[in-house]
Structure 1
Amino acid sequence: MKKKYNWAVLGCGHIASKFSKDLKLLPNANLYAAASRSLQKAQDFAAEFGYEKAYGNYEQLVADPDVDVVYVATPHSHHHEHAMLCLNHKKAVLCEKAFALNKQEAEEMIACAKENNTFLMEAFWTMFQPSFQKAMEIIRSEELGKLKIVRSDFAFNGPFDPQRRLYNVALGGGSLLDIGIYPVFAALTSLGKPEMIKTFADFSPTGSEETLNMIFKYNGGEMASLTSSFAGYSPTQTEYCFEKGYMVLNPKWFVPTNITIWKEGGETQTWPSEHKEGFGYQYEAGHVMECLDAGKIESERMPWQMSLDLMEVLDRIRIDAGAFFPGRDKNMFR
């Protein structure tokens, strides 16, 4: 019989709500504790989703000896602080993306995990979706030939509010870390880190980048064209162009979806989604518990180097665009 793990959520916002619903689908996950800066909010959240305990500050949560693993679901700007708090109390951490605000912060989080011999993984749920795993399998097989071009987008019309997370630079606001990270991830996982990056940006009145168009170029001639925006809607899909055909992760490509595949000389085929229930967060949560069962502090599926590479590319994009987080990017040019 599998060990049952006591899960806690640090931050009781929208994504924590969706994650909690999916956590209930896993028989070895116990919804144990919820923490917020507001005790009332934590109590309301715990009552809604069935958590056993509620805490009005994060220090009380990590001091609880019965907490096994913490899902960090606060804004990007606080991931470094809150992950470090959990790790220093030897609590396993699943930290929402973007992992941190920059690569230096990500390096410090990983060093802390090593020092405390405690599990840490970025919650990049797309990596664990059956449809995305199938796409990676097709790319590796080269059944459609070599991959040459990746086109990926994620855009929606986000109403401007200078205080809300999407536009507030103090909270890591801007389309890149919120949604642009997905198209960047699509290119990174299929083509690797680019040799050249060219970025075009349009900024909001707060100084956050509202729209980004990113071009990646590789030494082998491969290219990626990536877009993120809060200004308007896009299909939100990813297209892989090969020598002998193409493959499309259909909208919304970052969640469980189906895949369209066409090979030269043939008809288009559809690979149906194997996903049955929930939003799709249960796959990453289940993987975390598999790692803990095996005594691992690092995932082989979503390893630390992947998170570091992703943060490095995001840093390069922001440098090229001229998008910075005041007081947090002092070592961006080292």
Structure 2
Amino acid sequence: MTKKYNWAILGCGRIATKFASDLKLLPNANLYAAASRDLTRAQDFANEYGFEVAYGSYQELVKDPKVDAVYIATPHSHHHEHTLLCLNHKKPVLCEKAFAMNLTEVNEMVACAKNNNTFLMEAFWTMFQPSFQKAMEIVRSGELGKLKIVRSDFAFNAPFIEDKRLYNIKLGGGSLLDIGIYPVFAALTSLGIPETIKSFAEFSSTGSEESLSMLFKYKNGEMANLTSSFSSYSPTQTEYLCENGYLVLNPRWFTPTDITICKEGGDVYTIESEHREGFGYQYEAQHVMECLDTGLIESPKMTWEISRNLMGVLDRIRIDAGIFFPDHDKQMFF
């Protein structure tokens, strides 16, 4: 008999609403607890999405013996703190990306998971999208020849509000950790860790980076051209340019989407998305429960090494572009 898991959500913001909505699509997921530092907010969230209990503190949540898994949806400036809190109370964790603020924090989170023999995974939902998995299968098959160049972007024109998350350095503000992480992920999952990184940032009046261009160069000549921005719109797609054709993950490429393939000679066709309901967060949640079913503490698909490599490259980009978070980077940079 399949175990039904009591899910808890730590942090009741916008992304938590989508995750909660998609949990309802999974028969082995029970919407059990919602927690916020504001009890009224937690209660409103729990009532809207059908959670059984609401907590006005995260300490109350992790002390509840009925909680089987915690989805952390607070700003990434707090992921390290909240992940350690859950793991030290033996609560399996699915933590939103960016996993943390730097590689030092990620390493501490992984060490804590090992020490407590408790599951931990970065919630990089794109890894589990059927369209992304299909695209990787085609690119790696050699059907289009050797992959030479990755072009990926994610940009939108965000309202400038100084104290809100996107522009607030204390909350990890800036396009890189919020949306630039997606294009970086597209390059790493297809080409690996680059040999050389060049990055160019434009900063807002708060000191946070609002637009970023990243260039990756690889030992064998492959390249990646990546962009993120809060001050302009973009197609928000990813292109894999190969020797004998190219593949495009179409707009909003990091979500369930269609794939366009063009082969040398002009043969163009589309693979339509198989996704039919929800936002697409249910795939990662289902994977977490499959891992818990078999007693794993590390995902075989979104491994700790993948998260470490991703954060390590994000650190290199920030150093090159002059992007710093003083509350988190003292030990690493200064």
Mapping for residues 83-232 of structure 1, pairs under 5 Å: 83-232=83-232
Counterpart Cα distance in 2 of 1:153 and 1:22: 26
Return the letter of the residue paired with 1:115.
Answer: N
Counterpart Cα distance in 2 of 1:120 and 1:165: 24
Aligned-pair distance for 1:333?
A: 4.3
| Alignment of 1:40 onto 2:57 | no
Task: Answer yes or no: is the 8 Å Cα contact 1:188–1:310 preserved in 2.
Answer: yes
Cα offsets for 1:149-191 (capped at 9, x unmatched): 0000000001111100000000000000000000000000000
Counterpart Cα distance in 2 of 1:140 and 1:147: 8
Q: Which residue in 1 is equivalent to 2:303?
A: 303
Cα offsets for 1:184-206 (capped at 9, x unmatched): 00000000000000001100001
Return the letter of the residue paired with 2:145.
Answer: G
Aligned-pair distance for 1:332?
A: 2.7
Return the letter of the residue paired with 1:36.
Answer: S
Counterpart Cα distance in 1 of 2:327 and 2:333: 14
Q: Under a length normalisation based on structure 1, what TM-score does the superposition of the two structures give?
A: 0.99
Aligned-pair distance for 1:104?
A: 0.3
Counterpart Cα distance in 2 of 1:185 and 1:206: 27
Return the letter of the residue paired with 1:27.
Answer: P
Aligned-pair distance for 1:331?
A: 3.2
Cα offsets for 1:213-267 (capped at 9, x unmatched): 0000001000000000000100000000000000000001000000000111241
Counterpart Cα distance in 1 of 2:77 and 2:274: 35
Cα offsets for 1:88-139 (capped at 9, x unmatched): 0000000000000000000000000000000000000000000000011011
Counterpart Cα distance in 2 of 1:318 and 1:331: 15
Aligned-pair distance for 1:52?
A: 0.1
Return the letter of the residue paired with 1:30.
Answer: N
Cα offsets for 1:28-77 (capped at 9, x unmatched): 00000000000000000000000000000000000000000000000010
Return the letter of the residue paired with 1:21.
Answer: S
Q: Which residue in 2 is equivalent to 1:246?
A: 246
Task: Answer yes or no: is the 8 Å Cα contact 1:32–1:67 preserved in 2.
Answer: yes
Counterpart Cα distance in 2 of 1:309 and 1:176: 15
Identity level (%): 75
Task: Answer yes or no: is the 8 Å Cα contact 2:166–2:175 preserved in 1.
Answer: yes
Counterpart Cα distance in 1 of 2:136 and 2:196: 23
**Structure 2, unaligned runs of 5 or more:** none
Counterpart Cα distance in 1 of 2:193 and 2:184: 10
Counterpart Cα distance in 1 of 2:328 and 2:3: 40
Q: Which residue in 1 is equivalent to 2:57?
A: 57
| Alignment of 1:280 onto 2:276 | no
Task: Answer yes or no: is the 8 Å Cα contact 2:7–2:33 preserved in 1.
Answer: yes
Return the letter of the residue paired with 1:175.
Answer: S
Return the letter of the residue paired with 1:174.
Answer: G
Return the letter of the residue paired with 2:87.
Answer: L
Q: Which residue in 2 is equivalent to 1:81?
A: 81
Return the letter of the residue paired with 1:236.
Answer: T
Aligned-pair distance for 1:327?
A: 2.6
Task: Answer yes or no: is the 8 Å Cα contact 1:315–1:332 preserved in 2.
Answer: no
Task: Answer yes or no: is the 8 Å Cα contact 2:94–2:123 preserved in 1.
Answer: yes
Return the letter of the residue paired with 1:269.
Answer: Y
Return the letter of the residue paired with 1:164.
Answer: K
Counterpart Cα distance in 2 of 1:137 and 1:42: 41
Counterpart Cα distance in 2 of 1:332 and 1:320: 14
